[in-house]
Structure 1
Amino acid sequence: MRLIVGYLATPSGDDGLTLAVRLARTLEARIDLCIVLPTDRLLPDLVTVGGYEQILFQRAQKWLDDAAATVPEDIEVDTHISFNESFAEGLIQQAARLEADAIVVGAAHDGLMGRYTIGSVTSDLLYSAPVPLALAPRGTRYSKVDRVREVTCALGRRKGADLLLETAVRASAAAGTPLRLVSLVALDPMYGSLRGDNESVHERAIRHANETLNSAKDGLPEGFPVEATIVDGPTVEAAVNKLDWHDGDIIMVGSSRLGAPRRLFLGSTAAKMLRVLEVPMVVVPREQFSDQDLP
């Protein structure tokens, strides 16, 4: 198993690497540290293209070597440098070339506000990555947890939920931890405006959530350790905040139905969850990345 880490020598880059180490140890995976450098951009007048790119390459290799040196000896790590106008596109090309199983990035833009303040690279990946995307919130680099503690899977009944559940089951089995299935019931203004009074809307939502969780549990291997729960609230954020979270937990969500096949598209529910979550999120495409997608 291979994990691509989109790396920069920034706090956000260190957050992503810390999460990648945790996932690699849990899943017995190797890490591919990748930096994507820009091409022909803001060249100094007295430096040739080749010379400028060589300077960038050497600096990037130093960053990668320093980062790789921090990876524990029990985890295999390699480094890669490529040139592309888009950091996100460069990572996706590397994921295809290396047949990676997931991309890991530090999700938070290096600013002051919020655990998840999505930067441009992460935003591009959230709407285009062909493999699961693991997002490390700000501050992950300070965590001392070296393995995944628990896998939470936020389920809906839309197309792609089966693949999300399969991916969560594999991750939970590899981690050796129980799987927590969660269905969120959020009666926000958009949802609450459906026909009927608020109480009947709430009852229908709870019934739908129960059906979703029961269907998911029925499809799990016999004896698989699983916990199913429903949380509700006036908003998605309020519902998510009712769940207990611990350092080392991850949450897995599915890509929106609006996304193209084998491509991510962050849905509105997952986007709202990011506002309040303090644990890593893994976004799973609706369909698998297949050989026909390789360059």
Structure 2
Amino acid sequence: MTASGILVGYTANAAGADALAVASRLAAAADAPLEVVMVLPSEAGNSSVPADAGYERHLRAQSREWLAQASGHLGADVASKLHLRYAESFAEGLIAAAHEFDARLIVIGTARGGLLGRTRIGSVANELLHSSDVPVLLAPSGSRELPASQGITRITAAVGTRPGADALLESSIRLARATSAPLRLLSLVPIDLPAGLDADLAALTSSVHAEEVLDEARQALPDGIEATVETATGETIEDAVRALDWHQGELVLVGSSRLAAPRHLFLGSTAAKMLRELPAPMIVVPRTTLT
């Protein structure tokens, strides 16, 4: 993520502020332009109902005012532009805008009702995470409280054994380079083994398998890129995430499920379980897309 920019789906609420805060920190760290987009309901989508011109003018004016307020929270070192777009759905509008601006990442906030510091998937996130062909970053509740000066402190790549690990690793390397953040390779092998595997056999082979996966990932690193390695352990994915060390300012990358259509996202079960406990923003990467 160097030349192309970052798109943030902005809403005039806490979730929008969280998304804007994470996107702004990432844009500053990566020296990338930021496209701030508000999506309004498509006028064409309501053709069966007579349009209220006065209401539409008010909505446009109010939205522009919200965008202007949002720009006041961006650092002076972030190059940003404000946009209004119309679409049948918020997710559809964000994907179209990402294509329009050649954005390498879409950033959104969490749904209402989530725990502080955690991410709750709402309807917009769910649609994006199962249809977008652009990587999506989910900003946890409360991200706006982190100082802008915190920057990006670490990139963690959650490396599994399924197809797509190469693209995930490449995306993580590019992001670490762009932000000058250290890279951590995290193996989920001990708790991401095939269902139905004998428990004793899993315990016997998981640590060896984890080391093999991490060693392969480490050997794939290009010259000049170093990474720490860590193995997640626990009875469940959620236990493992809670037991791990997480930095403020950290970003976590995961790959898409094998069920994903070519070059599209599909949030897998392991990533969904991680998300319940993860106190850091998560980026979901299409199997064949590099951030």
SS of structure 2 residue aligned to 1:232 = coil
Check conservation: 2:108, 2:137, Cα contact below 8 A.
yes
- Residue of structure 2 in register with 1:247 after alignment: 248
Structure 1: runs of 5+ lacking an equivalent: 290-295
Moved over 6 A (4+): none
- Name the counterpart of 1:152: 156
TM-score, with structure 2 as normaliser: 0.91
- Post-superposition Cα deviations, 1:241-269, rounded to whole Å, max 9, x if no partner, equal 22111211111111111111111100000
Give, as a single letter, the amino acid of the residue that structure 2 aligns with 1:130: D
**How do residues 45-84 of structure 1 correspond to structure 2 at under 5 angstroms?**
48-84=51-87
2:9 and 2:106 in contact (8 A); partners too: yes
Counterpart in the other structure of 1:123: 126
> Residues 143-196 of structure 1, C-alpha deviation per residue, up to 9 Å, x if partnerless?
1143100111000122211111011011112222221000124558x95632x3
How far apart, in 2, do the equivalents of 1:177 and 1:48 lie?
50
Distance (whole Å) between structure 2 residues aligned to residue 145 and residue 78 of structure 1: 19
Q: In the alignment, is residue 180 of structure 1 matched against residue 184 of structure 2?
A: yes
Name the Cα RMSD after superposition: 2.1
| Number of aligned residue pairs | 283
Identity %: 42
Contact 1:185 1:233 in 2 (8 A): no
- Give the Cα–Cα distance (whole angstroms) in 1 for the partners of residues 114 and 143 of structure 2: 15
Partner of 1:22: 25
**Map of 2:89 onto structure 1:** 86
Aligned to 1:293: none
Note if 1:37 corresponds to 2:37: no
Alpha-carbon distance in structure 1 between the residues aligned to 2:65 and 2:255: 36
Whole-Å Cα distance in 2 between the matches of residues 176 and 112 of structure 1?
A: 31
Change over 3 Å in CA distance of 1:98–1:112 after alignment to 2: closer
Measure the CA separation in 2 of the matches of 1:214 and 1:264. Answer: 27
User: Structure 2 vs 1, CA of residues 218 and 186 (structure 1 numbering), >3 Å: closer, same or farther?
Assistant: closer
Q: 1:287 to 1:191 in 2, by over 3 A?
A: closer
Which residue of 2 is the match for residue 238 of structure 1?
Answer: 239
Does the 8 Å contact 2:190/2:207 carry over to 1?
no
Distance 2:114 2:251 in 1: 23
SS in 2 for 1:233: coil
Residue 189 of structure 2 contacts residue 209 of structure 2 at CA under 8 Å; is this kept in 1? no
Separation in 2, partners of 1:157, 1:187: 11
Tell me the distance in 2 between the aligned counterparts of 1:204 and 1:158: 17
Partners of 1:109 and 1:218 in 2: CA distance: 39
Q: How far, CA to CA, are the matches of 2:89 and 2:73 in structure 1?
A: 27
Q: 1:261–1:192: structure 2 CA closer, same or farther, 3 Å change rule?
A: closer
Aligned to 1:273: 274
Aligned residue number for residue 264 of structure 2: 263
Instruction: Determine the C-alpha separation between the residues in 2 that align with 1:99 and 1:276.
Output: 32
One-letter identity of the residue aligned with 1:165: L
Q: Structure 1 stretch 163-172 or stretch 34-43: which is displaced more?
A: 34-43
Separation of aligned partners in 2, 1:242 and 1:232 = 8
Corresponding position: 1:111 with 2:113: yes
2:264 alignment partner AA: R
* Gap regions ≥5 residues in structure 2: none
Does the 8 A contact of 2:190 with 2:202 survive in 1? Answer: no
**What is the SS of the residue equivalent to 1:241?**
helix
2:141 match: 138
- TM-superposed deviation, 1:42: 8.4
SS at match of 1:67: helix
Aligned equivalents of 2:27, 2:257: Cα separation in 1? 26
Say which SS state the counterpart of residue 188 (structure 2) adopts.
Answer: strand
How big is the shift at 1:66? 0.9
Change (3 A) 1:112 1:267: closer
Amino acid at match of 1:221: P
